[in-house]
Structure 1
Amino acid sequence: MYAVYSLCLANLRKKKVHNGLIGLLILLSTLLLATSVTVILNTNNLFTEMHNKTHGSHEILTLGDELHDPQKVYQWWKGQEGVTTSELIPFRALSGFTNKGKESPVGLSSLYLYMMDTPARPYAVDELIFAQGNESLKPEKGTIWLSTAIAYLYDISVGDTLEFTTGEKNFELEVSAVVVDMPYGSPFPTTVRIWMNHQDYSEQFDAMQGKDQYMMGLRFDDYSQSTSYWEQFEKDMGTPFLDSKMSFESMSAFYLIMNKVIGFIMIFLGIVMMLVALFTIGFTISDDILSNYKTIGVIKALGLSSRRMIGTYVTQYGLIAMVAIIPGLIASQWISSVIVESALSSLKTGVMMASLEGNLITFAVGIFVFILVVLCVLVYSNKARLVQPMQAIRYGMSESNTITMTKRFNARGNNIISFGRAPILVVIGLRNILKNRKASLLMMLLATIMSAVLVLGFVLLNSISSIKQTSPLWGYDDSDIILTITNKSAFSREEFDKTILTDQRIDNIGWIGALNGVVSPERNVNSEHSSVQPMYFQIDIMDGSYDEAGFTTLRGENPRNKDEIAIGIKVSQQLNIDVGDVVETYIEGYKHTLTVTGIYQSIANMSYSARITTAVIKVNHPDYNNLDLAAFLNLRDNRDSDYVVNELNEKYKGSLSAIKQQTLLDNTYKQAAASLILPMSIMGLLFTGVTIIIVYSISRINIRKESKTYGIYKSIGLTSTKIRLSVSLGTVAISAIGAVLGIFVGVYFLPLILGSILSNYGIAEAPLVLNWGGIIAFACVTMISAGFGSWASSRVVAKASPQILVIE
């Protein structure tokens, strides 16, 4: 046992740099794996914990008085066992606000606001958690409560004064508290609830045209049974629920999507990095056995058994792994908290988010990594059993390897490929690659992985930053300007259309609204395509052309006639229908038999939606003209966008808000880009560091084996710089091959894997924007990193004299 301890200690002392690099590699692998598991686990846990803490709703119903009697619906749900209901809360809808006294981001003016007539707390469903300000039963007069999703994103704090407009008048309210509002507090907010004092609500909206709408939340004791409740609702009411309903899946989607994407990428790449680490350890052990073949033979001849020789390697790398894994696990907790807090910032209620859970699982990851390292060492160090003392002492290698090498030397004279006329730098570089094939393969594999990681990160960030180019593939329009009506009573659509279409800069305009549609199993025309349960989804209705507005489809085309409908891919999957099928849908209480003309994808509502034209509604409502809430405006020259937006906002101030679509998309998705930057940067830096470390370690091993050769080169006049340059050029050449392969993996293969997550959110084909200049530039970082690692490791050639090198 003392011999094993002595050999292990000698190896640790003799190869301090090399052992340190291996330890760092294990640390980084542990860090990435533990971080990915912690992020995935805590994203769900923190959301679920907050949802339970607030008694969060599973469904939010929005009711008017045209389709259902709100009181009647409320009383029906109130009487259901196993369901907790919130109060029936009145609200009015407005568009946008400004932060008085501060520079207001453009995104604030594009928000859709639910101005709530706040009942007294506590609430049975969707309780509000106070993040800033003094907790109270309801807002004081002249004040409001604002959601954390908006407050944190737009830097609004307690004491700020916000200005709202009804179109007829403006009014100001002070933020007295910032609250976690679960149903409308997710990242990428476009709709927000503003909690008002009852007296303020009455003063501002009693004289406003229109009627109150109502909102109520439902929390099921067993959410999986919600379908049976809705079936009973249809039987008792004699009609499906025809107003708007938001499901738990829609509420939770944007809370979870970013961290699921990040966690998935990290765990996939963490596994890859772990495999690279194990392969590097295996390569190092194999090389060490070959390099010290004679020494091992002498030691075995002196009586040290093969089992104890293997134990030397296990002890050595086991100690290195233990020292490396512990700081990796500790660091993973800090990085995980930063990533989770960044993506779930809207749930933050204090200076720091609640401590992360899953310490046992994180510890299990550390144990798993340690076991993998030990098993890898056992497998590769088992080669020490094959060392025969007599062969080792005589040949310095096994007899079979000696015969192979002799044949190789004898065959060189007949080799067709000759480097006799090639530049000396090329010859040395290529010789280093060809002679150390396993090392070259490892460096090429590493370059492939690093290049793929960097390219994937760049492609994702570039795709989100350039979302304007692919907005139709995300389910959005591709128009130049978005118009939102802030005051219907002060706005005349007929006069606006007449004025706007005489403007030579305007190409076309399309007005859009949204309704609720219902499909029940027995109402599906094709029995073979029957659905298993009633399906509720949003239906967009347009007076104009979907194609002109820029909406696109995956298959088929957008609807144009009164008997046509295009459906989201999730609706298509759940109802098992495709282009050409016929479906019967209830819209505003009327049954419509519609032919599916197209299938599209949309992330906004997870593709649980559909598209129709106003011709469908006008079958039952010939005078239907309730689409003056929003419009898409296209210009003949989009360079006029800024001028047209400014003119419209000035001319129709108080009744209409105009904003460039580019600005709206940037404000909506800048949070997604911000959430991706940190984790992708961490992974990019980790893989860059790992590449430099491994290339440095491998090159150092190769140089040590070739020290005598390099000593001869220097003795005959070749400078150290030329030798180092030739070795580095060979490494750059092999890493260039890996970088090319990495581009293919990062652009085509990894996005396919990522698509499996996006498909759960209604995106069947990930819309990527490929900037090949940036892709090639990031791939070149791989070659630079490999070249730097190789150049740094060859410093020993410059420091040592030819005599010392030859002696070594």
Structure 2
Amino acid sequence: MYAVYSLCLANLRKKKVHNGLIGLLILLSTLLLATSVTVILNTNNLFTDMHNKTHGSHEMLILGDELHDPYKLLEWWSEQEGVTSSELIPFRTISGITVQGKESSTGLSSLYLYMMDTPERPYAVDDLIFADGNESIHPEKGTIWLPTSIAYLYDISVGDTLGFTAGEKDFALKVSAVVVDMPYGAPFPTSVRIWMNHQDYEEQIHVMQGKDQYMMGLRFDNYSQSSSYWEQFEQDMGTPYLESKVSFEEMAAFYLIMNKVIGFIMIFLGIVMMLVALFTIGFTISDDVLSNYKTIGVIKALGLPSKKLMGVYLAQYALISMVAIIPGLITSQWISRVIVDSALSSLKTGVMEAKSDVNLVAFVLGILVFILVILCVLFYSNKARLVQPMQAIRYGMSESDNSAMTKRFAVKENQRISFGRAPLLVVIGLRNILKNRKSSILMTMLTIIMSAVLVLGFVLLNSISSIKQTSPLWGYDDSDIVLQINNQSIFSRAEFDQAILSDPRIKNFGWMGGINGVVSADGTLNAEHSDAQSMNFSITVIDGSYDEMGYTILRGKNPQSKNEIAIGIKVAKQLNKDLGDVVVVYLEGYKHTLTITGIYQSIANMSYSARIVADVVKMNNPDYSNLDTALINIEDNRDSDQIVNELNEEYKVSASAVSQQTLLEAVYKQAVASLILPMSIMGLLFTGVTIIIVYSISRINIRKESKTYGIYKSIGLTSTKIRLSVTLGIVAVSAIGAVIGVFVGVYFLPLILGSILADYGISDLPLILNWLGIIGFACVTIISAGLGSWASSRVVSTTSPQILVIE
């Protein structure tokens, strides 16, 4: 046992730098894997815990079209066992917020606001959790409660005064508390609930034209049984539920999407990094056995058994692993907390602490990494057991390897093709690569991975930052300017249309609105879904041309007449419908039989949506005018800002205009912010790993070739040229890996990522390929490998030729 201890200690002392680099590699592998798992579990746990803490709803009913009696619905649901319903909460809708004393924000001005007539707390369903401000049963007069989703995003705090426009008048209210509002508190907010004092609501909102609408939340003891309740509802009421409904999946989607994407990428890359680490350990052990073949033979001849020789490597790498894994696990908890906090800031009410079961999972993962390292060491150190003392002492290798080497030398002597005419630096560099094939393969694999990671991160960030270029592929329009009507009572659509048509800068425009659609379960679904509940989904209504507004279709075409409809991919899947099929849809209580002309993808409603033209609704409601958004295309994009300013000045009381570019950036800037940190961490980790492994492998190769390099220096070749030739060989290998990595990062990894986004209604991930940036990040890979190789070859210049030859 003392012999094992002595040899292990000798290996640790002799190769301090190399062992330290292997330990760092194991640490980084553990860090990435543990971080990814913790991010996913922490995200799910945080959302689930907060949803349970607030008695969050599983379905939110929005009653405003007078297709059902709200009080009858409340009575019916109150009578159902296994379901908890909230009370009816009155609300009206307006658009836009301004923060007094601060510069106007485009994101705030374009928000869709539900102004709630706040009942007294606590609520049976969707109770509010106070993140800042004094907790009370309702807002005091002159104050509001603001959700965390916009308070954190736009840096609004307790005490700030917010301005609103209702009808023809403006009013201001002070923020008295910031609250977590689960149904409308997800990242990337486009609509939020503003909780008002009852008296303020009566004075400022209730006086607006129109009638109150109502929200009612439903929480099921067993959410999987919700479909049976809706079937019973249809039987008792004689009609399916015809108004708007938000499902639990829709509420949860944008809480979880970013961290799911980040976690999935990190898990995939963490597994790859772990495989690289294991391969590196295996390569190191194999090289050590071959380099010390004669020494191992002598030790075995002196009586040390093979098992104890293997124990030397086991003890060495077990100690390195334990020293590396523990800091990796500790650091992963901190990094994962930062990532989760960034992506789920709207659920933050204080210090976010990781759950104990999450820490346990990370601990188990650390044990798994340790076991994998031990198994890898056992597998490769088995080569030491096969060493035959006599062959080792005589040949310095096995007899079969010696015979094979002799044959190769004989073959080389007879080869007509050689490097005789090639430049000396090229010959030395290629010789180093070809002679050390395993290390060359490892470096190629590593540079492929690093290049793919850097390119994927750049492509994702660039695609989201430049989302205007691909907005139709995300399910949005491609118009240049969006005008939102804030006050229907004083806005004249006829005058606006006339003014727009007479402006030569305007290319075309159309009016857009939204309506709720319902597909009844009576015979419209396939046999597999024959017992499914009625399906509610959002329908876009256009008075104009979908094609002119830039809406795209995956298959088929956009609807153009009153008997046509285009549906999202999730609707098509659930209804088992395809192009040319007929679907029966209820719109405002009226039954319509429509032909499917197109199928598209959209992230906004997870593709649970459809598109129709306004003529469909006007068949039963000729006066339909719920088209409150104008989509405007202009001839010259350089006129965009000027036209927006003119429209805001002309219609400042009744409408607000903003460029589509600004609107999309306001919505998705949070996505970019959430991606920057984790993608930067992964990029830096892989860059560091690349430099570390290239440095380590090059040191091993240089040590094996020290006598050769000593001879080169003795005959007059300078250290700089030797180092340059070695580096050029590594750069050539890394360049091949970088090119392959570019294609992996651009084409293969997005396919894997697309499997996550498919659950969110995106089947074809829209990417913007900036090849200049892609090539630039690929070059970072080559530079990193070159730096690692150049640094490792420093030993050639600092050592005399005589010592090199002696070694």
Question: What TM-score do you get using the length of structure 1 for normalisation?
Answer: 0.99
Matched residue type, 1:766: L
Give 2:518's aligned residue.
Answer: 518
Give 1:21-420 correspondences, 5 Å limit.
21-64=21-64, 66-352=66-352, 357-420=357-420
Secondary structure in 1 aligned to 2:542? Answer: strand
Question: How far apart are the structure 1 equivalents of 2:525 and 2:148?
Answer: 46
Question: How far apart are the structure 1 equivalents of 2:684 and 2:586?
Answer: 54
Matched residue type, 1:720: S
- Displacement, 1:65? 5.2
- Displacement, 1:404? 1.1
Secondary structure in 1 aligned to 2:152? Answer: helix
Per-residue deviation, residues 634-664 of structure 1 (Å, max 9, x unmatched): 1111211101100000010110010000000
Secondary structure in 2 aligned to 1:336? Answer: helix
Please tell me whether the aligned partners of residues 692 and 788 of structure 1 are also in contact (alpha carbons under 8 angstroms).
yes
Question: How far apart are the structure 2 equivalents of 1:450 and 1:565?
Answer: 46
Give 2:672's aligned residue.
Answer: 673
Give 2:561's aligned residue.
Answer: 561
Q: Greater CA deviation, 65-74 or 133-142?
A: 65-74
Question: How far apart are the structure 2 equivalents of 1:528 and 1:255?
Answer: 30
- Displacement, 1:533? 3.1
Q: Evaluate the alpha carbon distance shift between residue 8 and residue 508 of structure 1 in structure 2; reply closer, same or farther with a 3 A threshold.
A: same
- Displacement, 1:415? 2.0
Secondary structure in 1 aligned to 2:713? Answer: helix
Question: How far apart are the structure 1 equivalents of 2:508 and 2:527?
Answer: 41
Please tell me whether the aligned partners of residues 529 and 577 of structure 1 are also in contact (alpha carbons under 8 angstroms).
no
Matched residue type, 1:241: Y
Per-residue deviation, residues 270-294 of structure 1 (Å, max 9, x unmatched): 0000000000000000000000000
Give 1:800's aligned residue.
Answer: 799
Secondary structure in 2 aligned to 1:546? Answer: coil
Secondary structure in 1 aligned to 2:522? Answer: helix
- CA RMSD after TM alignment: 1.2
Please tell me whether the aligned partners of residues 206 and 212 of structure 2 are also in contact (alpha carbons under 8 angstroms).
no
Give 2:699's aligned residue.
Answer: 700
Give 2:708's aligned residue.
Answer: 709
Please tell me whether the aligned partners of residues 524 and 531 of structure 1 are also in contact (alpha carbons under 8 angstroms).
no
Please tell me whether the aligned partners of residues 293 and 397 of structure 2 are also in contact (alpha carbons under 8 angstroms).
yes
Give 1:681-696 correspondences, 5 Å limit.
681-696=680-695
Please tell me whether the aligned partners of residues 525 and 583 of structure 1 are also in contact (alpha carbons under 8 angstroms).
no
Question: How far apart are the structure 2 equivalents of 1:617 and 1:158?
Answer: 44
Secondary structure in 2 aligned to 1:693? Answer: helix
Question: How far apart are the structure 2 equivalents of 1:417 and 1:76?
Answer: 90
Give 1:582's aligned residue.
Answer: 582
Secondary structure in 2 aligned to 1:276? Answer: helix
Per-residue deviation, residues 408-441 of structure 1 (Å, max 9, x unmatched): 1121122243111111111110000000000100
Question: How far apart are the structure 1 equivalents of 2:800 and 2:5?
Answer: 34
Question: How far apart are the structure 2 equivalents of 1:164 and 1:519?
Answer: 37
Question: How far apart are the structure 2 equivalents of 1:65 and 1:289?
Answer: 79
Question: How far apart are the structure 2 equivalents of 1:99 and 1:224?
Answer: 43
- Displacement, 1:355? 5.5
Question: How far apart are the structure 2 equivalents of 1:516 and 1:619?
Answer: 16
Secondary structure in 1 aligned to 2:512? Answer: strand
Question: How far apart are the structure 1 equivalents of 2:231 and 2:49?
Answer: 30
Gaps of 5+ in 1: none
- Displacement, 1:78? 1.4
Q: Greater CA deviation, 794-803 or 161-170?
A: 161-170
Question: How far apart are the structure 1 equivalents of 2:65 and 2:253?
Answer: 29
Per-residue deviation, residues 17-58 of structure 1 (Å, max 9, x unmatched): 000000000000000011111111111110000000000001
Question: How far apart are the structure 2 equivalents of 1:709 and 1:533?
Answer: 78
Secondary structure in 1 aligned to 2:765? Answer: coil
Question: How far apart are the structure 1 equivalents of 2:165 and 2:478?
Answer: 28
Please tell me whether the aligned partners of residues 241 and 534 of structure 2 are also in contact (alpha carbons under 8 angstroms).
no
Give 1:644's aligned residue.
Answer: 643
Question: How far apart are the structure 1 equivalents of 2:351 and 2:362?
Answer: 24
Per-residue deviation, residues 317-342 of structure 1 (Å, max 9, x unmatched): 01100110000000000001001111
Give 1:611's aligned residue.
Answer: 611
Question: How far apart are the structure 1 equivalents of 2:126 and 2:416?
Answer: 79
Please tell me whether the aligned partners of residues 525 and 584 of structure 1 are also in contact (alpha carbons under 8 angstroms).
no
Per-residue deviation, residues 95-117 of structure 1 (Å, max 9, x unmatched): 00100001132111000000001
Secondary structure in 2 aligned to 1:547? Answer: coil
Give 1:430's aligned residue.
Answer: 430
Question: How far apart are the structure 1 equivalents of 2:73 and 2:715?
Answer: 96
Secondary structure in 1 aligned to 2:607? Answer: coil
- Displacement, 1:615? 1.2
Matched residue type, 2:776: A
- Displacement, 1:496? 1.1
- Displacement, 1:532? 3.4
Please tell me whether the aligned partners of residues 167 and 208 of structure 2 are also in contact (alpha carbons under 8 angstroms).
no
Question: How far apart are the structure 2 equivalents of 1:377 and 1:182?
Answer: 50
Please tell me whether the aligned partners of residues 698 and 789 of structure 2 are also in contact (alpha carbons under 8 angstroms).
yes
Question: How far apart are the structure 1 equivalents of 2:185 and 2:666?
Answer: 16
Gaps of 5+ in 2: none
- Displacement, 1:796? 0.4
Please tell me whether the aligned partners of residues 42 and 357 of structure 1 are also in contact (alpha carbons under 8 angstroms).
no
Aligned residues between the structures: 807
Please tell me whether the aligned partners of residues 567 and 599 of structure 1 are also in contact (alpha carbons under 8 angstroms).
yes
Per-residue deviation, residues 537-561 of structure 1 (Å, max 9, x unmatched): 1111111111111111100010001
Question: How far apart are the structure 2 equivalents of 1:590 and 1:385?
Answer: 82
- Displacement, 1:521? 2.7
Question: How far apart are the structure 1 equivalents of 2:516 and 2:357?
Answer: 40
Percent identical residues: 79
Give 1:775's aligned residue.
Answer: 774
Question: How far apart are the structure 2 equivalents of 1:545 and 1:28?
Answer: 53
Please tell me whether the aligned partners of residues 514 and 626 of structure 2 are also in contact (alpha carbons under 8 angstroms).
no
- Displacement, 1:670? 0.5
Question: How far apart are the structure 2 equivalents of 1:415 and 1:681?
Answer: 49
Per-residue deviation, residues 483-516 of structure 1 (Å, max 9, x unmatched): 1111111111111111211111111111111111
Give 1:541's aligned residue.
Answer: 541
Give 2:740's aligned residue.
Answer: 741
Question: How far apart are the structure 2 equivalents of 1:356 and 1:484?
Answer: 48
Question: How far apart are the structure 2 equivalents of 1:719 and 1:431?
Answer: 18
Q: Evaluate the alpha carbon distance shift between residue 529 and residue 222 of structure 1 in structure 2; reply closer, same or farther with a 3 A threshold.
A: closer
Question: How far apart are the structure 2 equivalents of 1:491 and 1:682?
Answer: 50
Secondary structure in 2 aligned to 1:358? Answer: helix
Matched residue type, 2:532: V
Secondary structure in 2 aligned to 1:757? Answer: helix
Secondary structure in 2 aligned to 1:521? Answer: coil
Please tell me whether the aligned partners of residues 699 and 792 of structure 2 are also in contact (alpha carbons under 8 angstroms).
yes
Matched, 1:474 2:474: yes
Matched residue type, 2:686: F
Please tell me whether the aligned partners of residues 518 and 587 of structure 1 are also in contact (alpha carbons under 8 angstroms).
yes
Per-residue deviation, residues 716-747 of structure 1 (Å, max 9, x unmatched): 11111110011001000001000011011111
Q: Greater CA deviation, 353-362 or 491-500?
A: 353-362
Please tell me whether the aligned partners of residues 142 and 200 of structure 1 are also in contact (alpha carbons under 8 angstroms).
yes
Please tell me whether the aligned partners of residues 455 and 778 of structure 2 are also in contact (alpha carbons under 8 angstroms).
yes
Question: How far apart are the structure 1 equivalents of 2:414 and 2:93?
Answer: 86
Question: What TM-score do you get using the length of structure 2 for normalisation?
Answer: 0.99
Question: How far apart are the structure 2 equivalents of 1:677 and 1:526?
Answer: 44
Q: Greater CA deviation, 364-373 or 76-85?
A: 76-85
Please tell me whether the aligned partners of residues 230 and 533 of structure 2 are also in contact (alpha carbons under 8 angstroms).
no
